[in-house]
Structure 1
Amino acid sequence: MTESTRELVIVGVGSAPFDALLEILEERKTVTPAELKLVIADESEADPQVFANRSIAVQPIKDFAFSADQVLLLLTSDDTAKAALNKAEDAGAWVVDAAGITRGDETVALIHPLLNAAQLQSVERKVVAVPAAGAAMLAEALFPLKSRLQSVEVVLNQPVSALGKSCVDATAAQTARLFNGQEPEVDETTGQRLAFNHLSSAEALLESGHSFGELALVLELRRLLGDDIGLDATINTASVFHGQLANISVQLDDDADLETVRGLLRNGARLQMRERPSAQDAVGSENTLVGRLRSGLIKPGQFNFCAVSDNLRKDVAINCVQIVHLLLKNH
C-alpha cells in the first residue's frame, strides 16, 4: 500500500471543531484534496466544502464505501457517526473517535498525541479515542507532575463551544436579543440561558450530584495519568464562545517546593508559563498556558495553578490531526 492511496474520511461537517480541523489539515498538508472525503447522514444536505482551494463534495453515508486504506475521523456522536464507525471497522479502516462514542470501552485505546502515542503500536483494535478537550488540556498540564501526584481537584470553566455548534449559535442569538432589549429564548440543549450567564452545570445531574461530563473527565484523566491518583472534577460553563480555563489544586509529596513545581511545569511539553493567563490569550495558540502558581494554604505539598487553552483548535483539531498523520503515514 502506498501513501498516495490513503484517505481521510470525516463525519461531522458543520460541527464545532470542523472548521478548525480543516484549517490545521491544510496548514500541515496532512492530506491533499483528493485524499479528503466528507460523509453526512442520508437525509441531510450540505454544501461542498472548500479545502486547499478545492471544492470537496459531501457524500451521504449510504453511497460511501469504506476500505482498509482509510482513516475515519468522527467529530459527532449521532447515529450516522455510529454507523460509520461500524462500517469502517468492518472494512479494516482505522477509526479515530473524537466525539466520545466509545467512551468507557476499555478495548479502545485513549490516545493523547503528546503523552502516549506509542500505544498505537500495540492497540487491541483499530479504533482509538481522542480525549475530550478538557481532559486533553488537563492531562498536558498535569503530566510533568505525574510522578509526584497524590491527588488532583479541578474546576473546569468550559466555553459554550464545548457544548456544540448549536449552543454557539444559540448564545450569539441570545446576545443579539439582549443587546436589542429583548428577552432571549432559553437554550433547548441546557434548559438555561447561555448568553451573559455562568452555569453551575450544563448537564442534568446524576444521583451522586455529579454530571456525566465530570465523571467522564475523571475517567479520561485516570486513563492518561494512572489509577493511583485521587481525582475529582467540577465542570461549569462560562458565557464565552471559545477558550477553556481550569483552576487546579494538586497534592504532591510533602517535600515538594514551589520552585521545583514551577520548573517542572515550565519544561512540560506544549506548556507555556504566564503570570495571569486568560482564555483570550490562549485562543489561536497551540500551547496550554499555565500560571497563577502558588502554594496552597491547607497543608504542605498542596499547590494551586490554572491552565487555559483553545478548546477547539488545540485540544481537538490539532490533537486529531497529529493522530491522523501518524495513522496515515505509519500504520
Structure 2
Amino acid sequence: MTETSRELVIVGVDSAAFAPLLEILEERKTVQPAQLRLLEEEEGVADPQVFANRSIPVQSLEKFTFAPEQVVIVLKSGEAALAAMAAAEASGAWILDGADNTRGDESVTLVHPLLNMAEIGRAERRVLALPGAGAAMVAEALAPLRDQLQAVEVILNQPVSALGKGAVDAMAAQTARMFNGQEAEIDSAIGHRLAFNHLSSSEALLASGHNLSELALVHDLRRLLGEEIALDASINTASVFHGQLANVRAILKEDADLEQVGALLRNGARLKMSERPSAEEAVGGEETLIGRVRQSLINVRQVNFCAASDNLRRDLAMNCALIVHLLLKNH
C-alpha cells in the first residue's frame, strides 16, 4: 500500500481545532484532496470545506464506512465520537484521539511527536491520544531539564478556545453585547461570564479542590516526563480567544545553576527565548516562547519561568499533523 493510496479521515468539522489543522495539512502537503474525508454527525450540517483549492464535502458520520487503510483523527467528544472510534478500530484503521475521548484508558498510547514518537511502534492498540494542549506545551518546555527535575508546579492560563468552539462563540456574543451596553448572558455550564473575566476554574471542583482538567494535565505530564517527578497543576481560564501561557515552577535535584538552565532551554527543540513571553506573541507561531527564567526567592533549587504557545495551531494541529504524517508513511 502506498502513502498516496491511504485516506485521512477527520471527525469533527465544527471543532475549534479543525481550521488550523486543515491549514497545516495543506501547508505541509500531508495529504492530497482526494485522500481527505471529512465527517460530522449529520449530513448537511456543515458546508463543504476548501482544501488545496478543492471543495471537500462533509459526509455523515453514521453512514461512513471505515477501512484499514485509513488514519482517523477525532476532534470531538461524545457518544457519536466514541461509536466512530469503536467502528474505526474494529476496521483496523489507526485512530488519533484529539478530544480526550480516551482519557484514563491506559491501553491507549499517549504520543507527543517530539518526546516519544517511538511509542507508536510499541502501541498495544491502533488507538493513539494527543496530550492536551497545555500538557504538550509544558512537557516540551520541561524536556531539556527532565533529568534534573524533582518536582514541578504548573499554573496554566488557558484561552477560551481550550473549552471548545461553543465557548469561543459565546464569548464573542458576550463581548458584542457588552460593547453595546447590554447585559451579557452567563454560560450555564460554566456559571460565569467568559468575556472580560478571568476564571479560577471553568469546571466543577472535585473533592480534592482540583478540577478534572487539572488532574488530566498532571496525568499527561507524568506519562510524558516520568512517574518519578512530583507534579501539581492549576488551570485558570483567561478572557482571550487563543494562545496559552503557563507559569512553571521547577524544583531541581540540586541547587539551580541559571546559566546552565538557560543554555538547556535555549537549545530545546521548538523553544524560543523571549524576554517577556505573551500569548498574543505566540499565536500563529510554531515555537513555544520561554522567558522570565529566574531562581526562586524561596528555594535555591527552584527555577521559575514562563512558557507561551498557540494552543490550537501549534500544540494540537501541528502535533496532530506530525503524527499523521508518520502513520501514513510508516504504519
TM-score (norm 1): 0.98
Q: Deviations over 1:69-111 (max 9, x none)?
A: 0000000112221111001100000000010111111111100
Question: Aligned pair in 2 of structure 1 residues 237, 128: CA closer, same or farther (>3 Å)?
Answer: same
Question: What letter matches 2:83 in structure 1?
Answer: A
| Structure 1 residue aligned with 2:226 | 226
Q: Deviations over 1:143-171 (max 9, x none)?
A: 11000000001100000000000110111
Matches within 5 A, 1:15-34: 15-34=15-34
Contact 2:43 2:58 in 1 (8 A): no
Cα separation, 2, equivalents of 1:293 and 1:90: 48
Question: What letter matches 1:12 in structure 2?
Answer: G
Q: Does 1:259 align with 2:259?
A: yes
Cα separation, 1, equivalents of 2:163 and 2:24: 21
| Structure 1 residue aligned with 2:242 | 242
Tell me by how many angstroms 1:43 deviates. 6.6
Judge which range, 301-310 or 34-43, deviates more: 34-43
Tell me by how many angstroms 1:256 deviates. 3.1
Q: Which secondary structure state, in structure 2, belongs to the residue aligned with residue 272 of structure 1?
A: strand
Q: Which secondary structure state, in structure 1, belongs to the residue aligned with residue 9 of structure 2?
A: strand
Matches within 5 A, 1:316-327: 316-327=316-327
Tell me by how many angstroms 1:253 deviates. 2.1
Question: What letter matches 1:195 in structure 2?
Answer: A
Matches within 5 A, 1:77-156: 77-156=77-156
Tell me by how many angstroms 1:61 deviates. 1.8
The sequence identity of aligned pairs, in percent, is 66
Question: What letter matches 1:292 in structure 2?
Answer: R
Q: Which secondary structure state, in structure 2, belongs to the residue aligned with residue 318 of structure 1?
A: helix
Q: Which secondary structure state, in structure 1, belongs to the residue aligned with residue 62 of structure 2?
A: helix
- How many residues align structurally? 331
**Segments ≥4 residues shifted beyond 4 Å:** none
Q: Deviations over 1:165-192 (max 9, x none)?
A: 0110111111111111111000233121
Q: Which secondary structure state, in structure 1, belongs to the residue aligned with residue 19 of structure 2?
A: helix
| Structure 1 residue aligned with 2:161 | 161
Unaligned runs of 5+ in 1: none
| Structure 2 residue aligned with 1:66 | 66
Tell me by how many angstroms 1:255 deviates. 3.5
Q: Deviations over 1:228-275 (max 9, x none)?
A: 000000001000000000001000022331111101111111000011
Tell me by how many angstroms 1:44 deviates. 6.2
Cα separation, 2, equivalents of 1:314 and 1:34: 25
Contact 2:256 2:295 in 1 (8 A): no
Contact 2:11 2:61 in 1 (8 A): no
Contact 1:66 1:87 in 2 (8 A): yes
Cα separation, 2, equivalents of 1:44 and 1:300: 60
Tell me by how many angstroms 1:222 deviates. 0.1
Tell me by how many angstroms 1:309 deviates. 0.1
Contact 1:40 1:80 in 2 (8 A): no
TM-score (norm 2): 0.98
Tell me by how many angstroms 1:289 deviates. 0.3
Cα separation, 1, equivalents of 2:274 and 2:94: 38
CA-atom RMSD in angstroms: 0.9
Tell me by how many angstroms 1:42 deviates. 3.4
Cα separation, 1, equivalents of 2:11 and 2:168: 20
Contact 1:110 1:130 in 2 (8 A): yes
Q: Deviations over 1:111-158 (max 9, x none)?
A: 000111011111110000000100000000011100000000110000
| Structure 1 residue aligned with 2:306 | 306
Q: Which secondary structure state, in structure 2, belongs to the residue aligned with residue 62 of structure 1?
A: coil
Cα separation, 1, equivalents of 2:229 and 2:240: 31
Q: Deviations over 1:261-307 (max 9, x none)?
A: 10111111100001101011100000000000000011221110000
Cα separation, 2, equivalents of 1:109 and 1:217: 16
Q: Which secondary structure state, in structure 2, belongs to the residue aligned with residue 214 of structure 1?
A: helix
Cα separation, 2, equivalents of 1:44 and 1:235: 36
Q: Which secondary structure state, in structure 1, belongs to the residue aligned with residue 8 of structure 2?
A: strand
Contact 1:167 1:189 in 2 (8 A): no
| Structure 2 residue aligned with 1:3 | 3
Cα separation, 1, equivalents of 2:254 and 2:135: 26
Contact 1:245 1:307 in 2 (8 A): yes
